[in-house]
Amino acid sequence: MPERTLRVAVVDDHPVFRLGMVGLLASLDGIEVAGQAENAAQALALVDEAVDVVLMDLHLGDDSGIETTRDLVRRLPGLAVLVITMDEDDESVVAAVRSGARGYLLKSASPTEVERGIRAVANGEMILGPQVAMRAMATLTSGRTAVRVPFPELSDREREVLDLLARGYDNATIARRMVLSPKTVRNHVSNVLTKLGVADRAAAMIKARDEGLGG
């Protein structure tokens, strides 16, 4: 019995890469291009139950691929999202996985790696590109020990925002590092100030550094 055709959507704001990926997918047996999108609104309008896999960039102009992934997976729990991006830092990988992505490849991946990744996530597997996997293994084997979590009243995401705030980063920089939209960062900062009972960013920074954040 032949395998069913996988319907794949491509979400990327760079037209040259997006069109190149569409061309690659069209050349692969058993894979059909379901459509393409360059921003979050187009992706949310395009992707439905008939789409099996979404290839997702993390930077979609003013939108965030992390938030778009979260919205899609929340609406379609069975959807497989494979991130393909230039970002190989640990924060981006962790954020993507937390948002519901099943795979993470760099844009330097070969056509064979892309095809393998698509078929793997469609089959329910988790896949990381070779460079990403090496970084993940290095982190796991680095011998880091558990430490007390400061500010337990904060969510993990809010604590990450506070840590970056304590380093002196502005909202735009925090948004870039966490692959979030500026609006989402502003909301997180507001929630952090409220939960910590402080009046402004400077007071939050002092309190955070006293607890060891921002190092």
pLDDT at residue 214, as a whole number: 86
For the segment 88-146, what is each residue's pLDDT rounded down to a tens digit?
777 788 888 888 999 999 999 999 999 999 999 999 999 988 777 776 666 555 555 44
With residue 52 as reference, give the H or E element that holds it: none
- 140-145: list long-range contacts, CB under 8 Å, 24+ apart: none
Structure tokens of 27?
A: 């050349």
CB atoms within 10 A of CB 46: 17
Contacts of 110 (CB under 8 A, 6+ apart): none
pLDDT at residue 144, as a whole number: 53
* Separation CA 69–CA 58 (nearest Å): 9
Kindly report the average pLDDT of the chain as a whole number.
88
Higher pLDDT pick, 3 / 203: 203
208: left (phi over 0), alpha (psi -120 to 50) or beta: alpha
pLDDT over 50 at 1, yes or no:
no
* Separation CA 127–CA 53 (nearest Å): 13
Structure tokens of 55?
A: 């290839």
Percent of the chain with pLDDT over 90: 62
Strand, coil or helix: 148: coil
Structural domains in the chain plus CATH codes: 6-140 (3.40.50.2300), 156-210 (1.10.10.10)
User: Torsions phi, psi of 127, nearest 5?
Assistant: -135, 140
* Separation CA 109–CA 188 (nearest Å): 34
pLDDT at residue 61, as a whole number: 84
Q: What is the DSSP letter of 186?
A: H
For the segment 46-84, what is each residue's pLDDT rounded down to a tens digit?
999 999 999 999 989 888 899 999 999 999 999 999 999
7-11, 148-152, 169-173, 197-201: segment of lowest average pLDDT: 148-152
